Chains A and B, each alone.
Chain A
Amino acid sequence: MSETLIRAKKVSVGYGDNVILRQIDFEVAEGDFVCVVGPNGAGKSTLIKTILGLIKPHSGRVELCSGLTNSELGYMPQGMQFDTDFPASVEEVVMSGSLGRMRWRPFYGQKERELMKESLRKLRISKLQKRGFAELSGGQRQKVLLARALMASRRVLFLDEPSNNLDYKSKADFYALLKRLNAEEKLTIVMITHDVDVHDLIGNKVLALRDGGVWLGETAQYLEKIHEHC
Chain B
Amino acid sequence: MNIAEMLSFEFMQNALVAGGALAFVAALLGVCLVLRRNSMIGDGLSHAGFAAFALATVFGFLPLPFALILVAVLSTVVLRLSKNKNGDAAVAVLSAASLAIGTFAISVKQGVNVDINSYLFGSVLAVSRGEAILAVVLVVLVGAVFILCYHRIFALTFDEKFARTVGVKVGLYDVIFAVICSLVIVLGMRLLGALLISALIVFPALTAMRLVGTFRSIVVTSAIISIVTFCVGLFLSYAMSAPVGSTIVIVDLVVFASACAIKKLS
A interface residue numbers (CB < 8 A to B) = 52-54, 70-71, 73, 75, 77, 81-83, 86-89, 92-93, 95-100, 102, 106-108, 132, 134-135, 148, 152
Question: Quick one: which of B148-172 are within 8 Å of A by CB?
Answer: 148-152, 154-155, 158-159, 161-168
Interface pair B166/A97, CB less than 8 Å apart: yes
Q: How far is the CA of A88 from the CA of B215 in the complex (A)?
A: 5
Interface pair B159/A75, CB less than 8 Å apart: no
A89 contacts which of B151, B165, B213 (Cβ < 8 Å)? Answer: B213
Interface pair A87/B151, CB less than 8 Å apart: no
Q: How many A-B residue pairs have CB under 8 A?
A: 82
Per-position binary interface string of chain B over residues 202-226, scored 1 when its CB falls under 8 Å from any chain A CB and 0 otherwise:
0000000100111110100000000
Interface pair B35/A99, CB less than 8 Å apart: no
A54 contacts which of B159, B165, B215 (Cβ < 8 Å)? Answer: B165
Interface pair A87/B167, CB less than 8 Å apart: no
B158 contacts which of A71, A75, A86, A135 (Cβ < 8 Å)? Answer: A86
| Given A89-B215, A96-B154, 13 new contacts (CB under 8 A) | A75-B165, A77-B161, A87-B209, A87-B214, A87-B218, A92-B214, A93-B158, A95-B151, A96-B158, A99-B155, A100-B165, A102-B151, A106-B148
A100 contacts which of B37, B166, B212 (Cβ < 8 Å)? Answer: B166
B215 contacts which of A70, A81, A92 (Cβ < 8 Å)? Answer: A92
List the A side residues contacting B163 at CB < 8 Å: 96, 99
Q: Which A residue's beta carbon lies closest to that of B208?
A: A87
Interface pair A96/B161, CB less than 8 Å apart: no
Give the shortest distance, in Å, between B250 (CB) and chain A (any CB): 26
Sample of 27 A–B contacts (CB below 8 Å):
A54-B161, A54-B164, A71-B166, A77-B159, A77-B162, A83-B37, A86-B35, A86-B158, A87-B212, A87-B213, A87-B218, A88-B215, A89-B213, A89-B214, A92-B158, A92-B215, A92-B216, A96-B155, A96-B163, A99-B155, A99-B168, A100-B167, A102-B151, A106-B148, A108-B151, A132-B213, A134-B213
Interface pair A148/B209, CB less than 8 Å apart: no
List the B side residues contacting A134 at CB < 8 Å: 213
Q: How far is the CA of A95 from the CA of B215 in the complex (A)?
A: 13
Q: How far is the CA of A193 from the CA of B218 in the complex (A)?
A: 37
Give the shortest distance, in Å, between A84 (CB) and chain B (any CB): 11
Interface pair A88/B152, CB less than 8 Å apart: no
Q: Which A residue's beta carbon lies closest to that of B148?
A: A106
Instruction: Kindly name the residue among B148, B149, B154, B161 whose own CB sees the greatest number of chain A CB atoms within 10 A.
Output: B161
Q: In the A-B complex, list the 6 residue pairs whose CB atoms are closest, starting with the nearest.
A: A100-B166, A71-B167, A96-B155, A89-B214, A75-B165, A132-B213
Q: How far is the CA of A102 from the CA of B163 in the complex (A)?
A: 13
List the A side residues contacting B147 at CB < 8 Å: 106
Interface pair B151/A70, CB less than 8 Å apart: no
Q: A54-B164, A71-B166, A86-B35 are in contact. Are A106 and B151 (CB under 8 A)?
A: yes
List the A side residues contacting B150 at CB < 8 Å: 106-107
List the A side residues contacting B158 at CB < 8 Å: 82, 86, 88, 92-93, 96
Q: How far is the CA of A71 from the CA of B169 in the complex (A)?
A: 12
